[in-house]
Structure 1
Amino acid sequence: MSKKTRHEPHEEHADESWLLPYADLLTLLLALFLVLYAMSATDARKFQEMSEAFSIALTGGTGVLDYSKTQPSDDPPDLKDHKATAPTTPASTPDQRRAELMRQEQEELEKLKKQIDNYIKNNGLTSELSTKLNHSQLVLTIRDNALFPSGEAVVKPEARKLAEAISQMLQKFPDYEIIVSGHTDNVPISNSKYPSNWDLSSDRALQFMKILLANSSLDPKRFMPIGYGEYHPIADNATAAGRAKNRRVEVSIIRKYQDSATFTSVDEAGN
């Protein structure tokens, strides 16, 4: 009788439970090397994003890879929260900056007009001087009889005090261009000194400007004298009263920022 082959009992399989922590260890080592590599890069923002991603994947968002915990901060927590939630203020546009400069200029010129108006009122000169502020300039108008003898351009001694007072007010606003202009009526003049109204008006503007510039605080390069003769009247030359208004000197403070929009004009003092 044949002998039956006897099978040896099977050996027990080795315990493989060690593979799980071993795989975890390899994963952690891989993550560690990736983090170390990221730390060697110069882009801190990418490192932060990578480290936060690994922290979330491996530790549920907390742990040794939490980048925010590795960075010291001098800010208190409430300040850091404020930084994170504070809205960013948009930069002003060129149009907004120009609008703000125009607003500031309007305030400056209104202030200067008020100072001149107070001087006119306090010195009883309302019939001889007036001011007007419009979209392009602040104009101080002086009747010629307050400044000059008839047909002459020599400033009266008593008018020098007025010129000096005006120069003191102008020196507080040194950044503006100033035009001093002379005007006459349409009655022709012809003498040995002034062959035309052009000559008379030009010389009057120049002589009054020289007195203003006796104040050394004023910058001469910002001043310009102009003679308009009879060609820019503000009243009807057909009457004596109209011709008297047309004979004048104007000191114009020119706006630096002008716009086609109409500003609210401040009418002449006393009107």
Structure 2
Amino acid sequence: MKSQYDDNIEYEDDVSSHWMITYSDMITIILCFFIIFFTFSAEEISSLSTVKDSLMNKVDKLSSENTKLKEEKKSLSEKLFNIKNVDTDLNTSNEEFISFLRNNDLLEDVSISEKENELVIRFKNSILFDSGKAEITEKGYVILDKIANKLKLIDNDFVVEGFTDNIPINTLQFPSNWELSSARAINVVKFFISKKSINENRISFSGWGERKPIASNDTVGGRAKNRRIEIRIMN
């Protein structure tokens, strides 16, 4: 016969067994929780690492662009400084030449202007050459001699350019205005080099004929203005 004591032992065994199962389930749940927790944390860390790398790349890019902007700013500042210096030099040269022309009574025959960082000295053809001729006149030599003395005091290169009006010329010596304007420019250059000892490496010349007029060729006054010699002093 089964005793009451045996029943109690069986009951206690059942209770102990159920408690162990519950405890085991709880441990399993906690273990799963920690596994999920650490898995989630690892994903977060990986995600944060990715975000960090992305931010660092952006910082490096911004740093590189900032360096580039600083270099461009420095370059622009240097260019602006050079432009200001060129403007100052041109203004100084302009004032000096105007003063020079005034002191030598040349303002009626010679004019000065600034154009694209150049100083342009313009001579009326009538004071340097006779009509249809390329030989420099006596008065022309006197004027060019004074101008050459001034040019010798500066180091700038310059170009001598010849221009005519649009009235055609057709002689054995000058078949067109192009030859006439070129011959006049060449003779001015020869005078500067041979008579005034200006370094030939500083000088060049060109002849434009009737091209690049500064006034209308439809009037006598306009054609007179277009017949000219220009000395363009480079800066």
Where on the TM-score scale, by shorter chain, does this alignment land: which range? Answer: 0.5 to 0.7
1-structure distance, mates of 2:137, 2:152: 23
What is the TM-score with the length of structure 2 in the denominator? 0.64
CA distance in 1, matches of 2:218, 2:149: 37
CA RMSD of aligned residues (A): 2.1
Q: Percent identity?
A: 30
**Alpha-carbon distance between aligned partners in 1 of 2:153 and 2:84, rounded to the nearest angstrom:** 18
Asked whether 1:150 is paired with 2:139, we answer no
Instruction: Answer whether contact 1:137 1:254 (CA < 8 A) is retained.
Output: yes
Distance 1:243 1:206 in 2: 22
> What CA deviation, in whole Å up to 9, does each residue of 1:126-171 have, x standing for no partner?
3321110133311011000010111111111222222122222222
- The residue type paired with residue 112 of structure 1 is S
Match of 1:102 among 66, 83, 87: 83
1:129 to 110, 123, 130: 110
Answer 1 or 2: which has greater helix percent.
2
- 1:184 corresponds to which of 154, 160, 164: 164
Residue 237 (structure 1) aligned with residue 217 (structure 2):
yes
Compute the displacement of 1:186 (Å).
Answer: 0.4
With over 3 angstroms needed to count, the CA separation of the structure-2 counterparts of 1:172 and 1:102, relative to structure 1, is farther
Measure, in 2, the Cα distance between the counterparts of 1:177 and 1:239.
35
* Shift in Å, 1:222: 2.4
Aligned partner letter, 2:216? D
Q: Does 1:246 align with 2:217?
A: no
Question: Is the alpha carbon distance of 1:168 and 1:100 closer, same or farther for their aligned partners in structure 2, counting shifts above 3 Å?
Answer: farther
Aligned length: 164
TM-score by length of 1: 0.56
Runs of 4+ in 1 over 6 A off after TM superposition: none
- In structure 1, stretches of 5+ residues that fail to align are 1-89, 256-271
Q: Which amino acid aligns with 1:183?
A: F
